Amino acid sequence: MLKKVYISNVNCITPLGFDVETNIDNITKGITGIQKHEDKSLMKDSFCASIVNENDVDEAFAKVTSEGKFTKLEKMMILALFPIVNEVEITDKTAFLLSTTKGNIEALKNKSDESIEEAHLGTLAKRIANFFGFKTKPIVVSNACVSGVLAISVAKRLIQSEMYNDAFVVAGDIVSEFVLSGFNSFQAMSNEPCRPYSKNRTGVSLGEATAAVLVTSNRENAKVVILGDGSINDANHISGPSRTGEGLVRSIESAMKEANIDSNSINYISAHGTATPFNDEMEAIAFSRIGLENTPVNSLKGYYGHTLGASGLLEVVIGIQSLLHNKLFASLGFDEMGVSKPINIIEKTENKELNCFLKTASGFGGCNTAVIFEKIK
């Protein structure tokens, strides 16, 4: 029997707050971090995105340290980890995983050898690891938009293999000129806050955030146990999801098999929900195929935008709060069903007894990941 693995502490840094409690308070009030921005250093035209105020980051970071020079992303990752890193003693059995899609890609604006080195994801991971004094070589998980939740799967399996006792996982991405120009070239960006699964959606809103969790084999102080995980790549297209939801279906089936549960045991789904027609439709098909069409489902993109490599981990952090507070958060922006298969969108935040939730994510290149969490009673 595989060793049980838990999550005992969480934190996040987002436009809605610099701690979990503030984020939950703002989500409960239906507040979104997505706003219209006019910043020609990022994009020629105005754009909608959820961006963390840099002055607020600097002010919070100054309370942590005045030493060293760090990028905005590095500061946000350190701020996410800082309150939880003292949870356990850092030893040679403590892993550190960093998850991101683009890291410090803005460094490439300066064409020097030093800037190129700065943009390497391994360099970013080493800087964060050195700040906290991790004793093991940092592990980078970068697999498009499943990166954050996939990092939890990797941490779980490393602990089950006895390589480590604990693993700190941090995920983050920021809104950059590179990312904005990429999604704009797809004509996928919305000119208003995104509306996942809605007939009236106009595309994705981008966002930035960092999140951190402590994954551990120690049940003491644990908030949830990780029941099962699955990650399948359907290789459908470089940027388009499978039209049949095949990879997501197989990922969920794999996670449920390991968890030894059926779809009736899942109280809630925290879905990817990017508000692009292809993604939303693929998820609705997948949930319907697997008997989850009546399970309450939300997307948190209406609050945070799509935070890319951070999204999976950030949404796990919020999903855990759903379980702990017995609260289903509304899928902000949804008004009228915009997918062909029936799914049970959470239209209003409501209280409900919850024990188990499924987190799913899908990304470019056909990657899909599903992880199931159960509340510790």
Look up tokens 């959820």; give the residue. 50
Tokens describing residue 313: 């981990």
pLDDT in tens, the chain (377 residues): 789 999 999 999 999 999 999 999 999 999 999 999 999 999 999 999 999 999 999 999 999 999 989 999 999 999 999 999 987 899 999 999 999 999 999 999 888 888 899 999 999 999 999 999 999 999 999 999 999 999 999 999 999 999 999 999 999 999 999 999 999 998 889 999 999 999 999 999 999 999 999 999 999 999 999 999 999 998 888 888 889 999 999 999 999 999 999 999 999 999 999 999 999 999 999 999 999 999 999 999 999 999 999 999 999 999 999 999 999 999 999 999 999 999 999 999 999 999 999 999 999 999 999 999 999 98
Question: What are the contacts of 127-134 at 24+ separation with CB within 8 A?
Answer: 127/70, 127/74, 128/74, 128/77, 128/78, 128/81, 128/96, 128/98, 128/170, 129/96, 129/98, 131/68, 131/78, 132/78, 132/81, 132/85, 132/90, 132/96, 132/168, 133/90, 134/90, 134/94, 134/96, 134/168
| CA dist., res. 99 & res. 141, Å (int) | 5
| CA dist., res. 219 & res. 239, Å (int) | 39
- Answer whether 107's CB lies under 8 Å from 329's CB: no
Look up tokens 């951070």; give the residue. 310
Beta bridge partners of 231: 369
Tokens describing residue 340: 């062909």
The 3-state DSSP class for residue 6 equals strand
- Answer whether 136's CB lies under 8 Å from 92's CB: yes
Q: Containing H/E element for 23?
A: helix 20-28
Look up tokens 């958060």; give the residue. 329
Phi-psi region of 137 (alpha: psi -120 to 50; beta: other; left: phi over 0): beta
With residues binned 3-state (H G I as helix, E B as strand, rest as coil), the percentages for the chain, rounded to 5, are 35, 25, 40
**For residue 195, with 0-12 CB atoms within 10 Å meaning exposed, 13-18 middle and 19 or more buried, which class applies?**
buried
CA distances from 360 to 58, 119, 124, 149, 325 (A): 33, 28, 26, 8, 21
| CA dist., res. 89 & res. 242, Å (int) | 43
